[in-house]
Structure 1
Amino acid sequence: MNTFYGILIPFLGTTLGSACVYFLGKNLNKNVQKFLLGFAAGVMVAASVWSLIIPSIDSSSSMGKLAFIPAAIGTAAGIAFLFLLDVLIPHLHVDSEKPEGLKAKLKQSTMMFLAVTLHNIPEGMAVGVVFAAFSAQSLGFAAAAALSLGIAIQNFPEGAIISMSLAGNGESKSKSFAFGVLSGIVEPVAAVITILLKNLIVPVLPYLLSFAAGAMLYVVVEELIPEASEKPHSNLGTIGFSLGFILMMILDVALG
């Protein structure tokens, strides 16, 4: 039951964020958006380090000075995986006019939805991996819950940004909210699939922990930081990043 609630917490964050379209109107202030993107990036980087890469290295301690190998291989594989999805899946980032990925005749709202869904995949995998480790008694519940809560916190602004951006582009509030919620469904789905494969995962847990970290870091560097750092007032993104990083670090250490 703890695992069930744990994997739903991030989805709740996305849902609550998407509901902001009903209370804050159709346009999200650009400066607020930069701050929130920076905040989300900070949470994801801290989660990648404390919740995924460090546990990956710790669980490989029997390798001695070579304990970094699974973490290095997994991180590189996660980056390569997200790069491949980024190249193949047609998507459109918020405030961008040029689609990325393979050419496809899709509506703008659909391509924006795919952009958010794309970087929710590694977050769902990360939650699934840590709760698979918890169910296999390789990781404590508090440590798994810390990652889940941290991702939920950064999902709130992401849900708000996608729903309000869609509303600002002409979609109804109800449809914008629905798209925002649906973009987050991939997280519990990815988490459940990962947990169901627990028996296959546990032997390669160090690799999968760092794989999820690499995928999350790709999203941060490729998307979140560039969007948060656009001038003017790029310092707002930096402040947001700092606060998100510190908050996630505190959560992981205090709860883990």
Structure 2
Amino acid sequence: MATVMAVSLLAGLATVGGALITLLWGGAAKRVLAWMLGLAAGAMLGVAGLDLLPSAWRLGGPWHLATGLVSGLGLVWLIGRRLEAGEKGDRLARVGYLVAAGIALHDLPEGIAIAAGYAAAPTLGWVIAVAIGFHNIPEGMAMAAPMLLGGQRAGRILSTAWLVSLVTPLGAGLGFLLVGISAHFIAYLLALAGGAMLYIALWELWPQGRREGSSLALRGGLAGLLLVLLLTLLE
């Protein structure tokens, strides 16, 4: 179990790596705002559409996909209402925290998947962890970009990424405790996370990016989508 927890923690820490990339490369310059928001939206759309929702369909079929999707949309809408703020910088920071919540929802079933794969064959557990780690890099970038552009300090961004990264080993621990966990339940969790990411990308990140510059947001969105597609093909 210790090995699985360590492996899942490393996969989760890729989120911190993605946040670091944004902090070192992005900056808060006005000219990169639209592009970075578009990149974050494209990455989250890619993760939801290419990974989470298809996996939910395979594991649980249309019912669990639909109920999880609606639950995720509603949950993030409620969280967004609680975090709502008036200032522009606050709005961007709020989007960043919504992204963090969506990633955390996503990482829980992924941690369970690492434990399940390791229980079947240790090599499989490692393969799943590496794939999840690759996906966590653009997710960390998607989380950090609006927080940075919303005026959040680097220390706060990294501490948030660190907390989110701990959800993956938490899921792995749950996976070991609940070895016989229902595939339908995992499908529901994946669809819930997918719904959360769709809401964040389409109703938070993308509109904000378009307000700052629609052509740059579109280019960033395509770059984020292509990045996730490339990582998916490399799995």
Aligned-pair distance for 1:113? 5.1
Q: Distance in 1 between matches of 2:12 and 2:22?
A: 17
Per-residue deviation, residues 187-209 of structure 1 (Å, max 9, x unmatched): 12333433333228931111111
Change (3 A) 1:82 1:141: farther
Per-residue deviation, residues 91-128 of structure 1 (Å, max 9, x unmatched): 448x617x67xxxxxxxxxxx65552232022122123
Q: Distance in 1 between matches of 2:20 and 2:12?
A: 14
Alignment partner, residue 10 of structure 2: 5
Aligned-pair distance for 1:240? 1.0
Report whether the alignment pairs 1:14 with 2:19. Answer: yes
Q: Distance in 2 between matches of 1:201 and 1:219?
A: 32
Scaled by the length of structure 1, the TM-score of the pair is: 0.74
Gaps of 5+ in 1: 61-66, 101-111, 168-175
AA at the equivalent of 2:163? V
Alignment partner, residue 130 of structure 1: 110
Q: Distance in 2 between matches of 1:211 and 1:160?
A: 23
- Identity among equivalent pairs (%): 19
Alignment partner, residue 47 of structure 1: 47
Alignment partner, residue 200 of structure 2: 219
AA at the equivalent of 1:159? A
**Contact conserved, 2:100 with 2:160, CA < 8 A, in 1?**
yes
Report whether the alignment pairs 1:254 with 2:234. Answer: yes
Alignment partner, residue 80 of structure 1: 74
Alignment partner, residue 145 of structure 1: 130
AA at the equivalent of 1:119? V
Question: Secondary structure in 1 aligned to 2:211?
Answer: coil
Scaled by the length of structure 2, the TM-score of the pair is: 0.80
Alignment partner, residue 96 of structure 1: 88
Q: Distance in 2 between matches of 1:200 and 1:72?
A: 25
AA at the equivalent of 2:164? E
**Contact conserved, 1:77 with 1:211, CA < 8 A, in 2?**
yes
Change (3 A) 1:113 1:183: farther
**Contact conserved, 1:143 with 1:252, CA < 8 A, in 2?**
no
- Whichever structure has more helix as a proportion of its residues is 2
AA at the equivalent of 1:42? G
Alignment partner, residue 157 of structure 2: 180
Change (3 A) 1:248 1:115: closer
AA at the equivalent of 2:222? S
Per-residue deviation, residues 7-64 of structure 1 (Å, max 9, x unmatched): 111122213423458xx5xxx233311111111111111111222111111123xxxx
Report whether the alignment pairs 1:70 with 2:49. Answer: no
Q: Distance in 2 between matches of 1:39 and 1:119?
A: 13
Alignment partner, residue 159 of structure 1: 144
Per-residue deviation, residues 162-182 of structure 1 (Å, max 9, x unmatched): 335427xxxxxxxx2112212
Aligned length: 221
Question: What RMSD in Å do the two structures reach over aligned CA positions?
Answer: 2.8
**Contact conserved, 1:20 with 1:164, CA < 8 A, in 2?**
no
**Contact conserved, 2:114 with 2:125, CA < 8 A, in 1?**
yes
AA at the equivalent of 2:147? I
Q: Distance in 1 between matches of 2:163 and 2:218?
A: 28
